[in-house]
Structure formats: C-alpha cells, structure tokens
Structure 1
Amino acid sequence: MHDDTPDDPPSMVMNEVVTLADVLAPPELELKLVCGGGNATTTIVRGAHFSEILDPQIWLEEEWIMMTSGVEMYRDPARQRQLVRDLVTMNASALGYCTGIKTKAVPPALLDEAATLGLPLFDVPYHVPVRHVMTHVHRLVLGTDDVLLQRAIALTDYLLTGFDGPMPPSLVPETRIVVTLRQMLGLSVDHVDVQGSPVDPEDGGAVELSSVVNGVSDQGSTHLRVHGEDVLAVPCRVGARLTGWLVVHLPSRTDGHRYVLAAAEAAAMLIAVAALARRRSTDNLEALGQHLMAHLLRQPARRPRTGAGDLNALVGSPSMAVLRELGFTTSDPIRAIVADDLDLAAHRPDDLARVLRAAGIPHAWAVEHDTLVAAVQCSSEVALALTERFGVPAGIGGPVAPQDLPASVRQAQFALRMLRSEHHHARPGSAPRLGALDFAGLPPAALAAEQIRDVLGDDAVDDFLAPLVEQPLLLDAVVEFLRCDQDVAAAAQRLHLHPNSFRYRLERAAGVLGAPIRRPSTLASLYLACAASNLL
C-alpha cells in the first residue's frame, strides 16, 4: 500500500454536512461500498481514523469512520464480529477495510456481521494510498466546521510552544515536541526510532519496543501491552516516510483516551516533519560540502600556509560562503583526513560524517573510488580521536588555509603511507600502530622526506635513486634494509636470502652509489629519497 502525497491536492470547500457518499465520490480513490443497505451513502461522517486498535468505543468518536487493515483480527472471526458490534453500538459511520495487506478480500465473518447489523463497509484497494483517503475525509470535515478547524490549529500551535525562543543546541525539535506533549497530557511519553530503540540514549526510562515493533502496523496507532503496561504506539510518519514512534503510557482510566490519541497523532506528524526536514537539510549540506571539496581539491598543491589572514582573504568568495554554511569559521585553519582502500559496504563515508556531526566538528568530505578525503576544522588531537572511531587506518594532514587543502591532503596521504608501512613491516611480536596517524607527529626525517621533492625538485631525487632503480634486486635489498632498521638477518629473511647473499647485494648497492651504505649521510639520503618515492 502506497502512501505518496498527491502533487496537487484539491482546495478545501466549505459544506454544511459530510456524508458517506461524499467520502466515496472521488473516482481516483476507487472506494467500493460492499454492504450497508440502501441508505448507507446518506450516513453522516464527522471524521475518519485509521487504527489497528480493536476497542473503538474507547478511541473513536460517534459518526466517525474506522479504517483498518485487520492486523489484529484477520485470523480471528470472533474478534471481527465483535468489532462490527462495537462500531454499531457506538454509532460509527462506517468501516473501511484495506485489502491486500493481510487478506486479499474483506474477511467473510467481518462482511457477514456488517451486512447483518447494517454497518456500511467499504473496500480500500491495496494500490490506493490510505493516507489519500484520510486526507480526503479530513479536508471534507474541516470544510464543514470552522470551530473544528480552529481547534486543530490551536492543537498544533500548542505543540509548537517554545519554538519562538532560544533552544539549547543539543535539543532537537523532535525532543521539544515530546516534552510539550508530556506536559500537555500529564503522561509519560517516549520517542523511539523505527527499530523501537529510544531516540535519546540518555532517556533511561524509555520503553523498549524493539521486540514488538516488527509486529505493529505503521499505518495507524496500536494499543499494546508492554511489560504488563498499556501503551499507545503512534507512528511518526509523513506519507510513506516513517521516522519512528511515539509511545504513550496510558492511564488506568479510559475516559480521556480519545483526547490522548488526537494529541499524540498530531505530535507524531509534527515530529516526522521535523525529522525529515532536518535530514533533508543535512543531506543538502553534505552535497554542498562535496561540491566544495571537488573545487578545493582541484587547486594546485603548493606549500601550505596557515593563519587567520589566509582565511580572511577568502571572505566574500563563494568558497568561504559555503564554508560558513557548513559551520567553518575564519579564525581557524582546516586540515585533511584521508582514508583509502575502504570497504564501502562496511565503512560508509557518512559513518565518519555522522561521528563528526555528533561532535559538532565543521566538516566536508568527498569520495573518489575507494578513497575518502575529508576537511575538518579542529585540533589534531580531536581529529585523531574521532578518526580512530571510524575504524579504518587514516592519515591526518597539517593545518592549512582552505585554498591550500591539496597540500594538507598530500600530507595526510604521506602519514597514511607511513602508518601502513609501520604496520606491514612490524617485527613479529611487536605492537604495530593502528587507527590514525597525524602528519605533525611524524619524526623530523619523515617530515623532511615529504618535503624533499619541493625543496630539491623531482629530478634530483630521481637521479639519486636511478642507479638502484636500474637494478631492482639491489633496490629491493636497500629498501628492506631500511624497513628492518638495518637488521641484516631480518631483511634477508623477508627476501628469502641467506644473510651473506644479502650483504653481497648491499655491497653492490654501495658500489653503484659510490658511498658506503652505513655512512650516516648515505643512510639519510636513501631514507629521504625512498620515502619521498613511496618505496617505504
């Protein structure tokens, strides 16, 4: 059963009274009266309610239509007949049965009892959105009673109390509405997500619905017993979009249940609207951030600059306007986070974005193939702590102005290579570093290696390594020698060589370089050149 809202809803027309004929009239709804007698279509209708609750006398007003999909009774003919008798006793206008959800047609016992007692019963086809039927009835009824319309507006206005004043940053609109509803009803009200778990993890008293939510229809309110307590589960939804549930802990008396139901359903719809609007806003900001990242990453990687002056130079530019909308300020630089070889099924980029949002960190991110690049505005310590929670190895670049983001990205990539190298070449029994590595935390030699090509130029570095590159066996020996901290036995083992054979290769490498391998200047030059060439 679909729940899409019509693109162009008809305007509300003021009428004197609404009858069942008016409800059944629109041909696009395809509502079919299956029983009720010759005068059924003249029955007055004052409202409609979709519910799986089988106590209509508690929840439904007189001359209202009850609509249901039969979740609570489709296998129980006795309960079907009892529902019809209860509706007749309370002078309900009609019963609408949504076919195709639990049964292909109206259950025989339900149809027989309705025909016997003269209760109008109509069929709602599976392909017709039930929300369209409800909206149609509500529009008809509100068009007959301006007092009722004013009451609906007043209820919404009350539930939005407090939105005209300041709210703590941690208080989302949904929470404000729940708090207001609690005060309005004088009852305990919980807000749980679509899986039935409390939305607010600090709400220790919230009822856990995860064990029963799969069996509850999300098309309407349901009366449940959870842990021996009567609760009303109201879906928070707009059209087909379900965002969670309101759970109202019901009092022992039943005289106020209709009021509770009306208020809870109004609050649930407002909560769904707020949640969807906030999610859409977040989605828009994420998309905006990805466009900004694509622009910034196209800039040439130059020597990074830091300081507010560089940021202030962007004031008035489109990039700075986007940065401000994403929460960045002109008082602090940004830094890059890079994670590659992602298993996108296990580590989705928006998982990191969710961690950053929860911590209130301004950020933007982009993904190309299996590499995630994020720009954040926070200290390196905070970036390290948050990135490690993402669960994949990552490198963190130094602080730069936004236009110099590519330089910080390059630093983050270098830090990530150092992290992977340390992990891959750790000696047996040692504890390799996991998580994230900050470029600023690298030793001076590593920092120098990252910048050596900028200082000396690519040709100087490549020319120094050229004699070894031309003889790959010698280059492999030198690289493993550096990786194993000049431990000949360990390096020879990695190359599956006898130590004497490995020493011979080192001697040959020294010969082509024209200097002893263990000379400090030679070791330093080899380390810088190999690290800058991604060999370590």
Structure 2
Amino acid sequence: MMNTPLFPTKAKEMVDVKTPQPTQLTLGEVLSQPSLGLSLLTPKANSLNRPVTGAHSFEISNPTRWISSHWIALTTGLRLKGKPEEQRELIEELVDGGITALGFALGINFKSVPSSILEVANELDLPVFSVPFATGFAEIIAFVNQALLSPNVGALRRFVSVQDYLLDSLLSQKPLRSLVERLSPLVLSQVALISSSGELVASSDNLELNALAEINQQLGLTTKGPRQLRDPKVVSRSRLGDTPATTLSQLIEFDTPYGPGLALAVVTPTQETMWLALIKTNESKVEPGFHLSLPLIRSAGHILSIALSTNAEKLNERRSSERALLAELVGIRPVKGATHKGYRTHFERLIEIGIDFSEPVHVIVGSPSSETSRDLKESIGEQIDALTENFTPTIWDSHNSKYVAIIQAKADVIEKILNEISTPPNLNFGISKAVDGPGQFSLAYRQANAAYGELIEKSARSDARKGSQGTGVLWFDDCNMVTWLITQADKTSFACKQKDRLAIFELERHSLATLKAYLDSNLDINLAATNLGIHPNSMRYRLNKVHEAVGVDLDCFGELVDLYVALKVIP
C-alpha cells in the first residue's frame, strides 16, 4: 500500500482554491452563542440559515480581495467614521463578494452602527450584527474556527502543510529568495522583499519590471532617505483580530497598475524595517474558498523574521572568523590554536571566503582623518562590508584606528572602490604589492602600512601649504626608495641598527623631536617650527645645539639621509 506524500511537490497543489463543501455551521448558530453577546440588527428572514465557512477582521478598503465568500467580516469602522459614502460602498462590496454577514464593533469608533450601513444592508439583504465592547473579535473567530474544525480537518492540514513548506525555505542556501518564491504561487501574487531604503532584497520570478518602483512610490520608500509612509491607511495586527507582535507591526494596502497590493512591515534584528510586498496578478482573481491569503502572508512574515535573525547571527559569526583570520595572516595578533597555524589551513579558509588568488590579492591600510565624524567612520565600515556583496572577495578589520583589509581585485577595480569610499574626502589608503600566497601577508601588511605612512607625511606637507586636508591612494610600488628599503629589510636587524644609530641622542632631550620635525617638514624650518609650536629662531637654535652636542652635520646630505632612515619607524 503506497503512502500519499504529506507535502506535494508543487506549491499550488497545497491549497485548494475551489469552493469548499457546505458546512453545518450557520449564522444563526454563531449569533445564538450567549457568551458572545451578538445582536442581529437587520431582518431575520433567511439570514440565520446562511452558511459560515470562516470569520476575519479587517480595517482596509476592498476587504473582499482578501476575504472569501461565506465568511463573516468583522470591523470596528476605523476608516468609516464620517464617511457615509464609503459606508454604503462597503456594504455593496460585501454583497458582491458573497460575504455571509457583517459584524460591527461598538464602543471603539462608533457608539452604534451607522444608519447608512443599516439602510443599504436592508436593501441588499446583508445581515449586520453588533459586537459589544466586551467581546473581542478573536473570540468570534475562535468560536467559528472550533466549530469548523471537525468538518474542515482537510483544510487545516493543507494550511499546516503550507506553513511547513514555507518553513523549509530556511534550509536553502538563499532563504529569503526561497521564501518569496514559495509564497508567490500560494497567494497568487507577485512578491518582493524590500529594504527600508527601497532596495530590492529578493523577489519572485514573476515580479513585473517596473513593479518595484511602483511599490516604492506607494509606500513612500526612497533610496536617498528614511522611510516615510504616504498612505495613512495603516492598521495594526491587533485590529485585524490577531495577537500583536514586534516583528509584524503594520499592514498597508495600496493600488498599482499591475493590481491591488498589500505590504507587511517586518522589523529586522538591527531594528530596520523591511517590507514584504505583494501585488495580486490581474489575471488571477481570488476564488471563493481561497481564504488563506492573509494568514499565509503573516506566517511568511514570521518566517522572514526568523530568517533575518538567523542571517544576522551567521553574518556575525562569519565576520568574527574572517577578522581572526586576517589578524593571523598579517601578524596583527599572534596565531591562537594549532588548527590555524598551517598555511594550508589558511589557504583553505581564504578559498571559502572567495580569495583564491585567481586575481591579484593586496593588503590595504587606510584611515579617515581625526576630524572625520563617527557616523562617517561607521559608514566606511559598511561600505567595505558591501564589497563582498558586490562579488569582490574582501575581509577587513580595524586596528589602531586604521582599517586593514585583504582584497582580491585588479588595480583599476581597487582604485574605483577606494575612490567611492573616499567620498567625502579626508581618507588615505596604502596598498601593498600583489600577494602570491598566505605566507606573504605579513610582509604585504608592512608594505601597505609603509605606503600609508608615506602618504600621510606627503598629505601633511601638502595640507600645511594649501590649508586643507587631502585624500589619496598610494601603492607600495610608488613609494620612495627609503620606504622601500626599510620595509623590505629584516625587522630585527633593522631595529638593532636603528637603536645603535640613535643612541647618541639619548642625552639631548629635544634632539630627536627637533630632527624628526625638521626632516618631516622637508627641511623647511618655518614649517617645522609651526609643527612644534615654537618660533623659527628657536628652531634654528635647537638645530645648532644638536650639531654642537652630537656632531651631526646638517649640511651634509649623507648625514641627513642616514638620520632620516634611522628615525623611520619600521611598520
């Protein structure tokens, strides 16, 4: 005996959009429940025998797009106050949609049911009943659901199957994309997941080319500023007869040239609002019995929240791992743990990130100026993060107020990226020679750091003359010979020679500071004096004292080069 699969392979097979079989629940049975306290306000003729296949609350216009026939519609009249024309249009729409009855809550927005509603309801034979303030819509919905549970076990099973089908999207490589693709045929809609800035995060294959722009316009989303809701018809989930939740805060309905739309707000773990937007396709109308749209959209919203939280956790874990790898490779921090010591292991981890040395790999060291705002510094980090999303393999971290990154890209691509990040200005970057393997990253870091240092010195001299701060990129291959020699030298040997050469200055308190300022200012006494905060004559006096104390001839070019190299701090 063969078992019938619990989850059909095609999404559209999971939801029966045909008219359900008649049930034994009638409007009279719902109204007769003493615990609900409902009162019929229209004539009883034949109304008590009307079938009831569900109940749902609404506060949006055109509710029959989302509620099928033979259902009880419940409302507080939120959008109807002082609008008799819309009140009459609502009754006409409910009649055309085959709705069984309208339940109107009292004591919230209205003390009594508006007369215009009762007049049209009597004319068109639509039962209208009042719901007392003490009775919540959830109680009515729960009673109807419980009464229908036995005859509609099949429908319940299908709905649970659909939820499981949507949950399975979390197991895919791209859960957000998978979720919208699975949701689309279930609700007969184009589906898009949109960020708060109006950027498309994921969409179903049937999304119209210009639909995103239309959705953004309707929701007031822009790529140049924060979200602003233009449509005032915003309702909370509590008013829709469901328990409020922090992850599903708003529902917005709107119209587009492609069909009616609905957007659900979902708050991400970083407190950013994303929108799950749907547009009903023009060629598919909601048939009687297809009453799962709103519940499925809400379920998708909950699943989306889970996916976003999971993605955030995975992203944090990945970044921590990548930054630890970066620190090990460039020697910022010592290697911890035997499993990461071998270059072979490092190479495997770089491959996972996408750095496979198929294109040039460089180390970059950079930093904004001290006057750069905190917001801009955070923005720079976000832009560097975006490199990976743009298929540029990158890992980065901050160390000693500088950004350190390993990037795989050609020179023109790197220049373009850094120029984009350097807007607005006051950013400087040093770039190493190309790296051939994991064992060369430590040297590459020294090269990038040296290039960055030389660029800062050049910028300082240039800014002092121009009175402004500059921006630049300097490749190690373009550094001067001194920087090149110092960086390529053995660190230990250079440090010993450096110490011996500078030992003669230990007894002279101002000697080193005076010489360094003089050399860094390109032998410009006035500029060096300004940098030290002293008068130019005081600067000349100190230089003479250095000559007298240690015998250094500052007119000898060889002596100056020797001191310049000795005063350089090896990166």
Q: Which amino acid aligns with 1:521?
A: G
Query: Retained in 1: the 8 A contact 2:265–2:274?
Result: yes
> What do the CA deviations read for 1:468-515 (whole angstroms, capped 9, x no partner)?
454343333322322222233433444455545433432333344433
- 3-state DSSP of counterpart to 1:346: helix
Number of the residue aligned with 1:323: 350
- 3-state DSSP of counterpart to 1:215: coil
| Residue 194 of structure 1, CA deviation | 4.8
Distance of 1:472 and 1:154 partners within structure 2: 79
| Residue 533 of structure 1, CA deviation | 6.1
Return 5+ residue gaps in structure 1 as ranges. 1-14, 25-31, 303-310
Give 2:528's match in structure 1, choosing from 483, 491, 495.
Answer: 491
> What do the CA deviations read for 1:175-211 (whole angstroms, capped 9, x no partner)?
9849987xx77xxx68473547352899666212353
Number of the residue aligned with 1:54: 61
Q: Residues 451 and 180 (structure 1 numbering): CA distance in 2 closer, same or farther, change over 3 Å? A: same
Q: Which amino acid aligns with 2:111?
A: P
Number of the residue aligned with 2:471: 434
Query: Retained in 1: the 8 A contact 2:75–2:105?
Result: yes
Distance of 2:300 and 2:101 partners within structure 1: 28
Q: Residues 296 and 350 (structure 1 numbering): CA distance in 2 closer, same or farther, change over 3 Å? A: closer
Do residues 144 (structure 1) and 144 (structure 2) align? no
Q: Residues 333 and 239 (structure 1 numbering): CA distance in 2 closer, same or farther, change over 3 Å? A: closer
> What do the CA deviations read for 1:7-36 (whole angstroms, capped 9, x no partner)?
xxxxxxxx9959699xx9xxxxxxx94634
Give 2:285's match in structure 1, choosing from 256, 259, 270.
Answer: 256
Do residues 355 (structure 1) and 386 (structure 2) align? yes
| Residue 119 of structure 1, CA deviation | 3.0
- 3-state DSSP of counterpart to 2:542: helix
Give 1:336's match in structure 2, choosing from 354, 363, 382.
Answer: 363
Distance of 1:96 and 1:393 partners within structure 2: 67
Give 2:431's match in structure 1, choosing from 375, 396, 410.
Answer: 396
| Residue 454 of structure 1, CA deviation | 0.9
Give 2:38's match in structure 1, choosing from 35, 40, 54.
Answer: 35
Q: Which amino acid aligns with 2:99?
A: A
Number of the residue aligned with 1:193: 194
Do residues 235 (structure 1) and 263 (structure 2) align? yes
Distance of 1:153 and 1:175 partners within structure 2: 15
Distance of 1:408 and 1:344 partners within structure 2: 28
Q: Which amino acid aligns with 1:445?
A: V
Query: Retained in 2: the 8 A contact 1:50–1:221?
Result: no
| Residue 243 of structure 1, CA deviation | 2.8
Number of the residue aligned with 1:419: 455
Q: Residues 151 and 530 (structure 1 numbering): CA distance in 2 closer, same or farther, change over 3 Å? A: same
Give 1:287's match in structure 2, choosing from 317, 324, 338.
Answer: 317
Q: Which amino acid aligns with 2:331?
A: A
- 3-state DSSP of counterpart to 1:197: coil
Distance of 2:313 and 2:513 partners within structure 1: 48
| Residue 235 of structure 1, CA deviation | 1.8
| Residue 284 of structure 1, CA deviation | 1.3
Distance of 1:41 and 1:524 partners within structure 2: 104
Distance of 1:217 and 1:439 partners within structure 2: 57
Number of the residue aligned with 1:244: 275
Give 1:502's match in structure 2, choosing from 539, 555, 558.
Answer: 539
Q: Residues 450 and 275 (structure 1 numbering): CA distance in 2 closer, same or farther, change over 3 Å? A: farther
> What do the CA deviations read for 1:97-147 (whole angstroms, capped 9, x no partner)?
999xxxx93543459969995436487999x9x9xx89x969977981647
Query: Retained in 2: the 8 A contact 1:332–1:377?
Result: yes
Query: Retained in 1: the 8 A contact 2:76–2:109?
Result: no
| Residue 173 of structure 1, CA deviation | 3.0
Number of the residue aligned with 2:111: 108
Aligned length: 479
TM-score by length of 2: 0.62
Query: Retained in 2: the 8 A contact 1:97–1:124?
Result: no
Distance of 1:526 and 1:67 partners within structure 2: 87
Distance of 1:412 and 1:75 partners within structure 2: 70
| Residue 360 of structure 1, CA deviation | 0.4
> What do the CA deviations read for 1:129-176 (whole angstroms, capped 9, x no partner)?
x9xx89x96997798164797699799999x9xxx9xx9x9xx93798
What CA RMSD, in Å, does the superposition of the two structures yield over aligned residues? 5.8
| Residue 516 of structure 1, CA deviation | 1.8
TM-score by length of 1: 0.65
Q: Residues 493 and 122 (structure 1 numbering): CA distance in 2 closer, same or farther, change over 3 Å? A: same
Identity %: 17
Query: Retained in 2: the 8 A contact 1:67–1:98?
Result: yes
Number of the residue aligned with 2:337: none
Give 1:209's match in structure 2, choosing from 218, 229, 232.
Answer: 218
Do residues 346 (structure 1) and 368 (structure 2) align? no
Distance of 1:69 and 1:403 partners within structure 2: 70
Query: Retained in 1: the 8 A contact 2:363–2:445?
Result: yes
Distance of 1:389 and 1:178 partners within structure 2: 37
Do residues 119 (structure 1) and 129 (structure 2) align? yes
> What do the CA deviations read for 1:348-405 (whole angstroms, capped 9, x no partner)?
2651344302320122333468554333333454334323433444443443644654
- 3-state DSSP of counterpart to 1:373: strand
- 3-state DSSP of counterpart to 2:465: coil
Distance of 1:88 and 1:288 partners within structure 2: 56
Query: Retained in 2: the 8 A contact 1:327–1:362?
Result: yes
Query: Retained in 1: the 8 A contact 2:113–2:130?
Result: no
Distance of 1:393 and 1:36 partners within structure 2: 75
Distance of 1:439 and 1:249 partners within structure 2: 57
237-246 vs 394-403, which deviates more?
A: 237-246
Query: Retained in 2: the 8 A contact 1:301–1:407?
Result: no
- 3-state DSSP of counterpart to 1:355: helix
Query: Retained in 1: the 8 A contact 2:73–2:101?
Result: yes
Give 2:558's match in structure 1, choosing from 521, 528, 531.
Answer: 521
435-444 vs 210-219, which deviates more?
A: 210-219
264-273 vs 64-73, which deviates more?
A: 264-273
Do residues 448 (structure 1) and 452 (structure 2) align? no
Query: Retained in 2: the 8 A contact 1:96–1:124?
Result: no
Query: Retained in 2: the 8 A contact 1:48–1:67?
Result: yes
Distance of 1:239 and 1:334 partners within structure 2: 38
